[in-house]
Amino acid sequence: MNDYTLALLALLVALISLGMAAAIAIKHFLCKNQASARQRTWLALAIATLLLALQQAYALELALKTGLYDLPQSLLAGFSGLCLAIVCASLRQPTD
């Protein structure tokens, strides 16, 4: 596996995991049986993850269309996206 393929894979992992984190945050924002401060926190997290996912999508598009990529940045994006998705999944509490 060369650097280009690894960078594309890392960006794809980042995009998918950030999308999952945003979906979790939006789902919990829409729950009505919680405090308003917690609801605003979920909204802020949803907006932030959607913006990060958009940035990763642009980086992936740039790498696919032009061949320009940055392997360390791509690996960092993939790792941070996975970490954010794990944090969002662990923050959710069962709703009764």
64-88 residue pLDDT tens:
999 999 999 999 999 999 999 999 8
Helices in the chain by DSSP H: which ranges? 3-29, 36-66, 71-91
> Does the pLDDT at position 94 exceed 80?
no
Give the pLDDT confidence score for residue 96 in this predicted structure: 43
Q: Summarize pLDDT for 8-48 with one digit per residue, the tens.
A: 999 999 999 999 999 999 999 998 888 889 899 999 999 99
Q: Are 96 and 29 in contact (CB under 8 A)?
A: no
Q: Measured on CA atoms in the order 63, 68, 72, 77, is the torsion positive or negative?
A: negative
Task: Tell me which residue of 8, 16, 11 sits closest to 76, measured CA to CA.
Answer: 11
